[in-house]
Structures are given as C-alpha cells and as structure tokens.
Amino acid sequence: MIERTSPPRGGRPAVMLTETAFPARGEGFWDALERPERTALREVARPRGFPPKIPLCYQGEESDHIIIIERGWAKVTSSTEDGHDVVLAVRGPGDLVCESAVLGSRHRSATVTALSPVRALIVPAARFTGFLDAHPAVWLLVSGTFVRRLDDADRRLQAHVSAKGAQRLALLLADLAALSARHTPPADDGSIDIAPPLSQEELGSWMDASRETVARALNTLRQRGLVRTGWRKITVVDLPGLRAFAQDRAPD
C-alpha cells in the first residue's frame, strides 16, 4: 500500500507504503505528474501525430523511446505464433505506452496501434531515464502503472475462466465506460459513450471470443436495456446494471 503524507516545503508529498499514491484506475500517467515535472518532460520530448491504424511501436523491435499519449486512443496487441493479433488493452489520453521494454532493456512485447488520430510526446529512452533520475518520485508513478495493468490483466483472466460470454463482455464494457467517463462526462441521462472506437472483432479478440459471440452478447445486453449500439459505437445506458450483470447479480 502507498500513501502520500504532508508535502515537504516546496516539493511533492513524501511517499509511504499504502496504495492511495497510485493514480486511480483510468487516470493517466501524465495527469498524475506535478506541473514542473510535465514541463521538464516536455523539454526532452518531441510531439508527433499518428493517424488511425498506424502503429506507435512494434512488437519485437528494439527499445529506444517511450510515448505519452496526449490525445486519442490506441490498442495494445500481441501477435500469436499463427499470426493472429490479440487485443490486450487500450490506452488513452495521459497514458504512458511502449515503456516496459525501455525500462527493462528488452525488445518490445506488444504493438501499440492508433485507433483514432493520436497526438503524442516521444521521449528517447536515455532522456526518459535521465528525467526519472532527476525526479525520483515519478518512479513510483511508473511502478503504479505496472501494478494496475497487471491487476487488470489478472482480473480479466479470472473473468474469462469463470464467466459466460455476455458477462465477460459486460465486464469489459463497464470498465471501458468508466475509463471513457474520466475523459468525457456522461450525458444528461447518465449514459456513457465508449470512447475507444473498437470493432466487434477487436472486442472479441480482447475477451477471447468470436465476433459472433460478441454480437450475441451485445444483443443480450441491448434486450436488457443496458447498452445501445451503432456502427462502431457502443453506449452504456445503465452502468450499475451492467456491472451487476457482469457479476451475475442482475435480476432475471
């Protein structure tokens, strides 16, 4: 566990072991930085834009930079031995990506591809580690990012083992709705548009299911009044109800 104590004069709060120092789920690395840290990081970065479907980094390539997404959404995928791409996660505004290979001095384990137009900061590996050495408290934020992502992966793996297709999709959509709501407030009726523009095929890859399974699961969720759908668009109508359904607590 991590906890922030009262800040020393002119500095970031001291850090103790409780979990509250980690950014809340869905909050980006960039948002957790202090303003002077953002300024220092911008000074060693260069901005770059990525059109949709263009990779930000490739699985297997050597590590020479990290990327911070300022605007837009990207998917993280890994290629299997038979050539299929498996969706592992999505990343959005404020997220740090392509960082684990740089910090671990190894080849990149996944490809990150723009889902929408992405504006990002590119930081060479040596400059990023130099920035971390100059701002040691930020190491904790990087570590927190790793911990949260591992926790999310473990939670979804457990859901894949124990839940049916519609429940797995409900869990995934509930998490994506909560993430989306951090960047765009819900509508007046409480509904939340899923921000990352994921196709049914990509959702199926993420939840280890076929496109047909996703289509049937979406139909189930629509019939229960939990979601609305359009072309490459999903709106969560009832987030508490969707979470209850995912946890098998929904009324029959």
Statement to judge: residues 176 and 145 lie in one domain = no
- Own/partner pairs for 224-227, CB < 8 Å, 24+ apart? 224/250, 226/170, 227/173
pLDDT at 26: 40
pLDDT at 82: 79
Q: Is residue 15 part of a domain?
A: no
pLDDT at 162: 58
Structural domain range at position 212: 164-246
pLDDT at 160: 62
pLDDT at 48: 97
Q: Which of 142, 94, 134, 148 minimizes the C-alpha distance to 118?
A: 94
pLDDT, one tens digit per residue, over 127-147 is: 999 999 999 989 888 887 777
Statement to judge: residues 127 and 189 lie in one domain = no
pTM comes to 0.81
Statement to judge: residues 225 and 126 lie in one domain = no
- Other CB atoms closer than 10 Å to residue 104's CB: what's the count? 11
Mark which of 105, 120, 154 sits at the end of a domain: 154
Mark which of 107, 130, 154 sits at the end of a domain: 154
pLDDT at 207: 87
CATH number at residue 40: 2.60.120.10
Residues of the chain predicted below pLDDT 50: 1-26, 252
pLDDT at 12: 42
H or E segment at 134? Answer: helix 125-134
Statement to judge: residues 106 and 37 lie in one domain = yes
pLDDT, one tens digit per residue, over 46-94 is: 999 999 999 999 998 887 899 999 999 999 999 887 778 899 999 999 9
pLDDT at 27: 64
Statement to judge: residues 184 and 82 lie in one domain = no
pLDDT at 141: 86
